[in-house]
Homo-oligomer: A and B are copies of this chain.
Amino acid sequence: MNASGNQPVRVVRSPEDLAVVVCQAKQAGQRIGLVPTMGALHAGHLSLAEASCQECDVTIVTIFVNPTQFGPDEDLTRYPRDLAHDFKLLEPLGVDIVFAPSVETMYPAGHETRVELGELGSVLEGACRPGHFSGVATVVLKLFHLVPADVAYFGHKDYQQTLVVRQMVRDLNVPIEIRVCPIVRAADGLALSSRNTYLSPDEHRQALGLSQSLQLAADLVAAGETDAARLEQQMRAHLAKVGGIVLEYIALLKSGTVTPVDRIEQETVVAIAARVGQTRLIDNRIIQPAPAP
């Protein structure tokens, strides 16, 4: 709808105003793309908005720091927020609408309903962050209802989140297509994250250990290594050498699942979570098995 160019993005705050826009687009038979974000946008988010602008007639980016996906000891209050800057970043892309509701709008008094996942929501990130995926699934489903889009875009950096959203959509028969876009990395390899702004220069250097260890795993597999335990061992050794990293988990998973693999015989996702200083970071990499010799 909004031709690419520096047109100001229209910001909508209320579900009622949003419904008017969505209804008009639906009636005009336009394809709607939804990009749910928590703001503090970086090139990873922008790649999602770009994909939507290319593939859809109307692109709606939501910016909402969702309190229910943060644990009590997490960084909800200090999570970076800069709406004015976010709007500026979205303008050149051709994004039509930014939906930026308040917490009171999304969770009025008396809000009690939540979406619960099974096993998938309780392992890895779910084990480290109890309740996190229930909060994610609940707010994403609310956004899917507020913006009944044709397609919604998520980033592969939150690998388990993409599985959670896909599972919820499948289980609850939500009529929406889910698209997952690749991780966007800084030139030095660090996976882009709004939380990277927390890192001091020293911590930033240490944080590179995560993407380096994933690269190491990919290199070892390309060289013929197939044993998951040995790969994890090599990754741990690299992280120890870098120092300053408190590892939470390394997981080698059958792609599209959270099922651990013993051997790299099919597409595998290597996922890592760690703390660097006060900052919790996650990263992952899709690894293909080496071709048979």
| Residues of A near any B CB (own CB < 8 A) | 15, 19, 111-120, 137-138, 141-142, 145-146, 148, 167-168, 171-175
Asked, given contacts A112-B119, A118-B113, whether A148 binds B175 with beta carbons under 8 Å apart, the answer is: yes
Chain B residues with Cβ below 8 Å from A15 are: 173
**Complex-state Cα separation, A117 to B113, whole angstroms:** 5
Distance of A143 from chain B, by nearest CB (Å): 8
- How far is the CB of A145 from the nearest CB of chain B, in Å? 4
Question: How many copies of this chain sit in the oligomeric assembly?
Answer: 2
In the assembled complex, the Cα of A172 lies from the Cα of B137 at a distance in Å of 11
Cα distance A172–B118 in the bound complex, in angstroms = 19
Complex Cα distance, B148 from A174, in Å, reads 10
* Contact present for B117 and A167 (CB under 8 Å): no
User: Taking the nearest CB of chain B, how far is it from the CB of A23, in angstroms?
Assistant: 10
Which residue of the partner chain B has the closest CB to A138?
B172
Inter-subunit contact A142/B112 (CB<8 Å): no
Q: Which residues on the B side are within 8 Å of A141 (C-beta)?
A: 172
Cβ B172 vs Cβ A142 within 8 A: yes
Residue from the set A138, A141, A171 with the largest chain B CB neighbour count within 10 Å:
A171
Whether the Cβ atoms of A115 and B112 lie closer than 8 Å is: no
Instruction: Judge whether B137 and A113 touch: CB under 8 Å.
Output: yes
> A114 to B26, alpha carbons, bound, how many Å?
29
B113 adjacent to A167 (CB under 8 Å): yes
Closest residue to A137 on the B side, CB-wise?
A: B113
Which residue in chain B gives the minimum CB-CB distance to A143? B173
Question: How many angstroms from the CA of A172 to the CA of B172 in the assembled complex?
Answer: 13
Q: Of B113, B167, B175, which contacts A172 at CB under 8 A? A: B113
Q: Chain B residues with Cβ under 8 A from A172's Cβ?
A: 113, 115, 138, 141-142, 145
Q: Evaluate contact between B113 and A113: CB separation under 8 angstroms.
A: no
Name A15's closest neighbour in chain B (CB-CB): B173
- Docked CA distance A142–B175 (Å): 10
Query: Which residues does chain B contribute within 8 Å of A142, judged by CB atoms?
Result: 171-173
Q: A69 → chain B, closest Cβ, in Å?
A: 15
Neighbouring B residues of A111 by C-beta, 8 Å = 171
By a CB distance below 8 angstroms, the chain B residues around A148 are 148, 175
Verify B116–A120 contact, CB threshold 8 A: no
A167 touches B118 (CB 8 A): no
On chain B, the residues within 8 Å of A167 by CB distance are 112-113
Q: Which 6 A-B pairs have the closest CB atoms?
A: A112-B118, A113-B171, A145-B173, A142-B173, A113-B168, A146-B173
Q: Considering the chains assembled together, what is the distance between the CA atoms of A174 and B115 in angstroms?
A: 13
